Structure 1
Amino acid sequence: MADTNPLDSGHTGIRKIIHIDMDAFFASVEQRDHPELRGKPVAVGGSAARGVVAAASYEARVFGVRSAMPSVTAKRKCPDLIFVKHRFEVYREVSRQIRAIFKTHSDLVEPLSLDEAYIDVTPENGGDKMGIGNATRIAEMIRAEIKKQTQLTASAGVSYNKFIAKIASDQNKPDGICVIKPHQGAEFVAQLPVRRFFGVGPKTAERMAKLDIHTGADLRAQSEDFLRQHFGKSAGYLFRASRGIDHRELRANRIRKSVGGERTYGEDLVTDTDLQDAFENIINIVWNSIEKSGSRGRTVTLKAKYADFRQVTRSKSADHYVENKQEFSEISRELLEQIMPVENGVRLLGLTLANLEGAEDSENENEDRTKSAQEAFEF
């Protein structure tokens, strides 16, 4: 029988998007290079009291260990956890190998971090340089070549837009592939928990639960006006995504504008000691995110929101790129001192590194703003 899947048939008007996500990338590199770690629960990161897990092997994930988790929590969940110091230069070199593999199939590659990227293999867009004509086959070829060259596994999502391809790559991890055809998109999204939607963190999910919104289907049942009333400027994105719609184009070699994250606390931080302790955790988590993205920047920005919802920001720019965690920490603490002592409780803290290398040459596109909003994470 002839293949009727538009993703694989040369059918015009349908984009063919692949999302490749390396499996437990940092931890897998360490297990590859250190055979004694294979088959054991491994965490890349610091084991000190204020350390944070940058990556966890699948053996560690069985115990509930996750990236961005405080090391003390990870050790409590998995007493046999082996902590390994990160080697970001090694990870960057492997990432360069992987991106070279992508480029053999398409020049339309949008890296999201060292371990994941979108690849547009739509022939009409200039993708599929080898003329394979089958997006699923291309994804399998990429995965096989990654395994051959790096001895590491990757998972892939194949679909007609970026939103679904990215979620699909996580469906059959590790070392798996998931293909979502255009006629399957809406139903695939309908069964997703709302936490799988980008930008929906714990606090937003909690607000949704109070509105009896738990799945993509529940989101799709709401009007855009309703979503705007409750979720503000995210409404348009949620309305479209819940229907499997995502018109964002791939931005080849997209330049990030910033890397950062923030946390809203269940209980306000009311003392300087509480504030400083919480801030150290944010420094660790955000720096791990910076390292994972492979970014270098010159401007550090602190964001704080008080119990009365008054918000303040403080920024400092260096005359050079911030090269290491110590320098990032020193600048961040200097900014924190500017808002101390605490006069009333602090309910939110965040840090961002901006003025990134190469960003001054990039265009201020809607795509960048959209991605920035979706990549802001709650932890």
Structure 2
Amino acid sequence: MGLESAVSLYDQSTRGRAGERRAPGAGARPLRPHAAGDRSVGFAEVRDFHVEVARRADPALALVPLLVGGDPSKRGKVIAASADLRSRGLVPGMGMVEALDRAAEARWVPTDMRRAREQSGLLRAAVRREVGAVEIEGLAGFYLCAPADREEALAVARRLEARVAEQMGLPLRVGVAPARFAASLVAEDAGRSGARVVVAEDFEQYLLAQPIDRLPGAGPKTAARLAELGATDIPSLRRLGLDRLEVLLGNHGRSLWLLACGQDPKPLRVRRHPTTLSREESFAGDERDPGELGAVLVRLSERLEQALQRDGLRAGRIALRLTYADERTVTRSHSFDAPVSAVRELAVAARALLDRIDLGPDSVRRAGLVLRGLEISGAEDRQLDLF
């Protein structure tokens, strides 16, 4: 639908029976700009996580302009760039060759996903020890419930920052706000590390001062479309009204309206622990030897045991996933009689699953183990204490 047709449709939808025009948003459910409560939302993250992981692995990279990503000789992409390079327009997603051409002094290091996942797990464990339940955002971001009081929220943020610095040597930035999406904006305002809090009484002023393109989902194309409609900031976006935005942009328009009013359409869902854990290993060359596959499953079981111990968990179910050279995937699973966490139990179960697969003449490119039915160790004992 073109812009003129959409506006015409909007005009028809906002006229009463006598042809009189209703105010934009008339008939819509009344919305307050935001709702204050006794809780706020926090967002904590390690900015430039892949860069920080690479520098932690090799301290010689600490002061070097750094690009992390795919092999430039294989048309790899930038996954992360150090702050000095980002300020020059080198951003994730661009080709590595182009990035190196534009910054000849930069160092390229390949993405080490195994190390990144390991560090991500340690980071999750550190954050959970401080605040308990979190909602995970990527490898290094966490949403959490936070106090509405400014000083209490700052105290939580500083404890988180101190714990991550002490246990991992990584910088953490934390933002707290009355709405989920705003917490991540406030965290960005904190810089590379540190804490910022926007309380309910200051939220309206903070929100109205933000440019439209800081709203989630308001990319360059959407911002240009809104500018055509006369919305160049949050106040003018609100003035368009919910009805008009829904007619012109559909559900996306409704989401933007809610965000502009300080209400996040995406609810906060925190958990005390992950629902699954997985580890996988790829082979340099395609693999056919069951003995080598068995050795890989032992290594994966050892890494999963470490992950379970780190989070204080046990697993009720294990699955083996093999990916062949033609990308065909075969999966087998097993439920334990009682939840387990020891490497021996995991490895024995994984080997039994491998024995259930007829490998045939085809080569295996990747093997992975997935644990499900996770529960906190000692949960049964705590349940018995209730009776």
Q: TM-score, normalised by structure 2?
A: 0.58
Give the Cα separation in 1 of the matches to 2:373 and 2:217. 26
Residue equivalent to 1:91: 116
Q: Separation in 2 of the partners of 1:140 and 1:155?
A: 9
Deviation of the 1:317 alpha carbon: 8.1
| 1:228-247 deviation digits (Å, cap 9, x = unpaired) | 12211122221121121236
Q: Tell me, in whole angstroms, the C-alpha distance in 2 between the residues paired with 1:37 and 1:75.
A: 16
What is the deviation of 1:360?
11
Aligned to 1:365: none
Counterpart check, 1:71 vs 2:89: no
Query: Equivalent residues in 2 for 1:88-127 (5 A)?
Result: 88-122=113-147
Total equivalences in the alignment: 251
- Give the aligned partner of residue 228 of structure 2: 210
Query: Which of 170, 175, 186 is equivalent to 2:193?
Result: 175
Trace 1:259-298 onto structure 2 (pairs within 5 A): none
Distance 1:163 1:96 in 2: 24
Q: Deviations over 1:32-69 (max 9, x none)?
A: 22122111110111223621111111232232211122
Task: Write out per-residue CA displacement over residues 152-202 of structure 1, whole angstroms, 9 at most, x where no aligned residue.
Answer: 101111112211111111112111322111122222222222221112222
Taking every aligned residue pair, what percent have the same amino acid on both sides?
25
For the 8 Å contact 1:24–1:55, the answer to whether it is kept is: yes
- Structure 1 residue 358: deviation in Å? 8.4
2:143–2:268 contact (8 Å) kept in structure 1: no
Q: CA, structure 1 residues 218+320, in 2 after alignment: closer, same or farther (shift >3 Å)?
A: farther
Kindly indicate whether residue 261 of structure 2 is the aligned counterpart of residue 243 of structure 1.
yes
Residue 43 of structure 2 is aligned to residue 25 of structure 1: no
Which whole-Å CA distance do the structure 2 matches of 1:255 and 1:197 have between them?
30
Structure 1 residues 141 and 217: CA distance shift in structure 2, 3 A: same
State which structure, 1 or 2, has the greater radius of gyration over its C-alpha atoms: 2
Q: Does 1:57 align with 2:79?
A: no
How much is the aligned-residue C-alpha RMSD, in angstroms? Answer: 3.1
Secondary structure of 2:250's match? helix
- Does the C-alpha gap of structure 1 residues 359 and 185 become closer, same or farther in structure 2, counting only changes over 3 Å? farther
Aligned to 2:4: none
Q: Structure 1's 320 and 194: CA in aligned 2 closer, same or farther, altered over 3 A?
A: farther
Check if 1:184 corresponds to 2:205.
Answer: no
Q: For the residues of structure 1 that align with 2:104 and 2:232, how far apart are their CA atoms?
A: 34
Partner Cα distance (1:235, 1:62) in 2:
31
What secondary structure does 1:178 align onto? strand
Alignment gaps of 5+ in structure 1? 1-11, 124-131, 257-297, 299-315, 322-356, 362-379
Q: Answer yes or no: is 1:34 the counterpart of 2:50.
A: no
Question: Per-residue CA shift, 1:327-371, capped at 9, x if unaligned?
Answer: xxxxxxxxxxxxxxxxxxxxxxxxxxxxxx78999xxxxxxxxxx
Per the alignment, do residues 80 and 146 of structure 1 end up closer, same or farther by CA in structure 2, a change over 3 Å counting? same
In the TM superposition, structure 1's runs of 4+ consecutive aligned residues that sit over 6 Å from their partners are 357-361
Corresponding residue for residue 219 of structure 1: 237
Question: What is the deviation of 1:100?
Answer: 1.4
- Give the Cα separation in 1 of the matches to 2:213 and 2:101: 25
Pairwise CA distance, 1:113: 0.8
Is the contact between residue 153 and residue 175 of structure 1 (CA under 8 Å) also seen in structure 2? yes
Once the two structures are TM-superposed, the CA of residue 13 in structure 1 deviates from its matched residue by 3.3
Work out whether 1:158 is the aligned partner of 2:173: no
TM-score w.r.t. length of structure 1: 0.60
Preserved contact between residue 39 and residue 59 of structure 1 (Cα < 8 Å): no
**Range 58-67 or range 86-95, more displaced:** 58-67
Aligned residue for 1:63, secondary structure, equals: coil
Contact 1:53–1:67 (CA under 8 A) maintained in structure 2: yes
